[in-house]
């Protein structure tokens, strides 16, 4: 995935008084959000997040945006604006700062605090600029105004970017809950004011563009959670995002009301809730908190565990509980509540965890059978409201898969935005705003960069293909020794198989074929190591395919004697 649009060439030079917009992530996918704005030779980045791997990316920890487009221009970056503290918007910042450490990071108090805690683990001391809604500040040629938006994490912001090319409003992730738990509303009067000023390009969250109506208020969840607590037999285990402070607050409130102690489980959960508590975003009575090492001293019917793993992440606390690979053992008297929605692509992993927990008899409460989560993203009714309020000259749906982007584009068309002024782009597509019109002008590489352990970018698509083959089809190795001068076989073949569904005793037939093929190769003067590897691979691969209808990885090992 090195070039998402082969039909598009590299973009031309940016015209004078034009604004260039390049999304390096977040378009056509849920996650990895990162958008680069360019004007007058300077760059402004909005968000820098990660994407979490799916099952076809075995062994991968995180997926980053590809920084290659800006790598030679890092000194031109005026700032990185972070709309809120979710991992898909801030998770890649440590990797960007490895390339230039003094890039100013701009965000709200909570967003920067969560990010600084993360950066401390990477031993990076950032340069930060704290802003609040209503602030207006310039970074290079970019005049930025910040507006409050309601989301599933406190302190989220939209940003209005003014340049001589026009006014751009990037909403970030938002919804329009009219009764938010923290009383912080989406700044609809501010949106309307910008609309009256004249928004040249609206870039708006598309995640729930297919969902009709309006998102249910967070307040409606409280009574449901309280009912789960009242009816639970013994322990309650709540899994949610480590950044969902509102939901954790509701769990804490229910614990206080039902005389239960609470323990945070998982490094990211402990870290984020510590930050939120310290800054006053989370009200945690000292009397209800217990440390994990003291769990055995608390009666099971007085205990609540809040952990990560709501998306079925393999190494999360909840997944390990489901697999009996955690000190906390699930029993038939436990209640497990998944207080989150399914991120597209995670359905299989989540269902696997639910089945694993159910196997041990636990009662499972999730969004499918109880109102224990509402989305943090605006539904179609709210998106229409924003479109009618802002009346943008041009519209570009962001943050969503293709189906979400197209559904949002259709909403924009219904509200009167001209079809020629609606831009549906994908990662790497270059959009220029010039003379009041936004259009696609080219594309740049915007592939996946894989984090695997301590390595960044070393794992390629070819490597992942090999891993998938090994995981699904197994491998067969064939070791031979050849005379270094004549190329004749002097030892072997010795064949071993793992995970390929073939018994070692079955290889007698193919050994004869390999010997014959190598004799033919030697007779034809073939003694190059690569060519001999190919001879073995072709002979072995054809035999396995013909007899077993399988395609394991064939690993020839040729030793010169």
59 among annotated binding-site residues: yes
Is 72 domain-assigned? yes
122 among annotated binding-site residues: no
pLDDT band at residue 350 under the 50/70/90 scheme: confident
Is 275 domain-assigned? yes
Is 465 domain-assigned? no
In this structure, the answer to whether residues 47 and 195 fall within a common structural domain is yes
Structural domain ending residue among the three candidates 387, 422, 456:
456
In this structure, the answer to whether residues 270 and 207 fall within a common structural domain is no
Among the options 47, 66, 155, 205, which is catalytic? 205
12: helix, strand or coil: coil
404 among annotated binding-site residues: no
In this structure, the answer to whether residues 227 and 199 fall within a common structural domain is no
Residue whose structure tokens are 């007779």: 523
173 among annotated binding-site residues: yes
pLDDT, tens digit, 9 for 90 and up, residues 477-518 = 888 887 766 667 777 788 877 777 777 777 777 787 888 887
In this structure, the answer to whether residues 131 and 35 fall within a common structural domain is yes
In this structure, the answer to whether residues 163 and 198 fall within a common structural domain is yes
Q: Closest by alpha carbon to 86, among 168, 157, 159, 165?
A: 157
244 among annotated binding-site residues: yes
Angle at 184 between CA 179 and CA 189, to 5 degrees: 95
In this structure, the answer to whether residues 34 and 137 fall within a common structural domain is yes
With residue 90 as reference, give the H or E element that holds it: helix 87-90
pLDDT at 412: 97
In this structure, the answer to whether residues 380 and 358 fall within a common structural domain is no
Residues 264 and 76: their CA atoms lie apart, in Å, by: 42
pLDDT band at residue 55 under the 50/70/90 scheme: low
Among the options 366, 377, 404, 408, which is catalytic? 377
User: What phi and psi values does residue 141 have, to the nearest 5 degrees?
Assistant: -85, 5
Is 10 domain-assigned? no
The range of the structural domain enclosing residue 243 comes to 218-365
pLDDT, tens digit, 9 for 90 and up, residues 312-327 = 676 678 888 888 888 8
Token pair of 449, please? Answer: 């960069």
pLDDT at 52: 80
Is 8 domain-assigned? no
In this structure, the answer to whether residues 52 and 73 fall within a common structural domain is yes
Residues 99 and 157: their CA atoms lie apart, in Å, by: 26
72 among annotated binding-site residues: no
| Mean pLDDT, residues 158-167 | 98
pLDDT, tens digit, 9 for 90 and up, residues 196-223 = 999 999 999 999 999 999 999 999 999 9
User: What phi and psi values does residue 315 have, to the nearest 5 degrees?
Assistant: -100, 10
Is 180 domain-assigned? yes
In this structure, the answer to whether residues 355 and 389 fall within a common structural domain is no
399 among annotated binding-site residues: yes
* 326 counts as catalytic: no
pLDDT, tens digit, 9 for 90 and up, residues 226-279 = 999 999 999 999 988 888 899 999 999 999 999 999 999 888 888 999 999 999
| Residue 476 or residue 437, greater confidence | 437
Checking if the pLDDT of 4 tops 60, the result is no
Q: What CATH number should be reported for the domain holding residue 483?
A: 3.10.20.580
Is 236 domain-assigned? yes
pLDDT at 2: 34
In this structure, the answer to whether residues 252 and 329 fall within a common structural domain is yes
Q: Specify which residues 21 forms β-bridges with.
A: 37, 431
Q: Is the pTM of this model over 0.85?
A: no
- Yes or no: say if 423 and 398 are a contact pair by the CB < 8 Å rule: no
Structural domain ending residue among the three candidates 365, 385, 417:
365
pLDDT at 318: 85
Average pLDDT, the chain: 88
- Yes or no: say if 306 and 295 are a contact pair by the CB < 8 Å rule: no
Structural domain ending residue among the three candidates 456, 486, 505:
456
pLDDT, tens digit, 9 for 90 and up, residues 354-393 = 888 899 999 999 888 888 888 899 999 999 999 999 999 9
Residue whose structure tokens are 């089809």: 473
Q: What CATH number should be reported for the domain holding residue 88?
A: 3.60.15.10
* 205 counts as catalytic: yes
452 among annotated binding-site residues: yes
pLDDT at 440: 95
Is 542 domain-assigned? yes
| Mean pLDDT, residues 388-404 | 96
10: helix, strand or coil: coil
412 among annotated binding-site residues: no
* Structural domains of the chain, count: 3
pLDDT at 323: 84
Q: How many CB atoms lie within 10 A of CB 327?
A: 12
86 among annotated binding-site residues: yes
In this structure, the answer to whether residues 106 and 151 fall within a common structural domain is yes
5 among annotated binding-site residues: no
- Yes or no: say if 443 and 3 are a contact pair by the CB < 8 Å rule: yes
In this structure, the answer to whether residues 228 and 339 fall within a common structural domain is yes
Q: What CATH number should be reported for the domain holding residue 357?
A: 3.40.50.10710
């Amino acid at each position: 995935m090195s070039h998402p649009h082969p039909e598009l060439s590299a973009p031309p030079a940016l015209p004078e008084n034009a604004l260039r917009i390049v999304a390096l992530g977040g378009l056509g996918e849920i996650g990895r959000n990162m958008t680069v704005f360019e004007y007058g030779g300077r760059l402004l980045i909005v968000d820098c997040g990660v994407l979490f791997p799916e099952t076809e990316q075995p062994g991968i920890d995180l997926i980053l945006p590809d920084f290659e487009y800006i790598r030679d221009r890092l000194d031109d970056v005026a700032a990185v604006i972070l709309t809120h503290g979710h991992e898909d918007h801030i998770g890649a910042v440590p990797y960007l700062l490895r390339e230039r450490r003094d890039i100013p990071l701009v965000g709200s108090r909570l967003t920067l605090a969560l990010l600084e805690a993360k950066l401390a683990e990477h031993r990076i001391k950032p340069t930060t600029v704290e802003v609040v809604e209503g602030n207006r500040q310039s970074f290079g040629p970019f005049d930025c105004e910040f507006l409050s938006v309601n989301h599933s994490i406190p302190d989220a912001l939209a940003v209005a970017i003014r340049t001589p090319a026009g006014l751009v409003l990037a909403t970030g992730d938002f919804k329009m809950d009219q009764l938010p738990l923290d009383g912080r509303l989406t700044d609809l009067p501010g949106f309307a004011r910008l609309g009256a000023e004249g928004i040249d390009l609206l870039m708006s969250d598309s995640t729930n563009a297919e969902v009709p109506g309006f998102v249910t208020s967070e307040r409606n969840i409280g009574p449901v959670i309280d009912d789960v607590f009242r009816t639970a037999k013994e322990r309650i285990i709540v899994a949610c995002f480590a950044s969902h402070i509102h939901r954790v607050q509701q769990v804490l409130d229910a614990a206080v009301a039902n005389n239960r102690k609470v323990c945070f489980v998982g490094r990211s959960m402990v870290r984020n809730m510590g930050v939120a508590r310290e800054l006053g975003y989370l009200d945690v009575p000292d009397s209800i908190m217990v440390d994990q090492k003291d769990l055995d001293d608390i009666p099971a019917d007085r205990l609540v565990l809040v952990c990560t793993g709501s998306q079925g992440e393999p190494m999360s606390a909840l997944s390990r509980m489901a697999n009996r690979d955690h000190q906390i053992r699930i029993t038939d008297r436990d209640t497990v509540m998944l207080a989150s929605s399914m991120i597209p692509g995670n359905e299989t992993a989540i269902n696997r965890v639910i089945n694993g927990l159910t196997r041990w008899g636990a009662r499972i409460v999730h969004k499918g059978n109880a109102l224990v989560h509402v989305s943090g993203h605006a539904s179609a009714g709210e998106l229409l409201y924003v479109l009618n309020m802002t009346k943008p000259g041009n519209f570009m749906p962001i943050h969503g898969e293709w189906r979400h982007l197209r559904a949002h584009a259709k909403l924009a068309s219904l509200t009167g935005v001209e079809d020629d002024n609606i831009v549906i782009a994908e990662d790497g597509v270059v959009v220029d705003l010039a003379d009041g019109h936004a259009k696609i002008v080219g594309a740049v590489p915007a592939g996946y960069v894989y984090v695997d352990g301590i390595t960044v970018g070393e794992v390629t698509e070819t490597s992942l293909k090999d891993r998938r083959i090994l995981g699904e089809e197994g491998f067969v190795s064939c070791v031979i020794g050849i005379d270094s001068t004549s190329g004749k076989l002097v030892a072997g073949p010795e064949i071993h198989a793992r995970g390929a569904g073939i018994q070692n005793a079955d290889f007698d037939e193919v050994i004869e074929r390999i010997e014959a093929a190598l004799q033919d190769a030697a007779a034809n003067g073939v003694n190059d190591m690569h060519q001999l590897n190919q001879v073995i691979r072709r002979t072995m691969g054809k035999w396995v395919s013909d007899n077993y209808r399988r395609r394991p990885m064939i690993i020839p090992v040729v030793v010169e004697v």
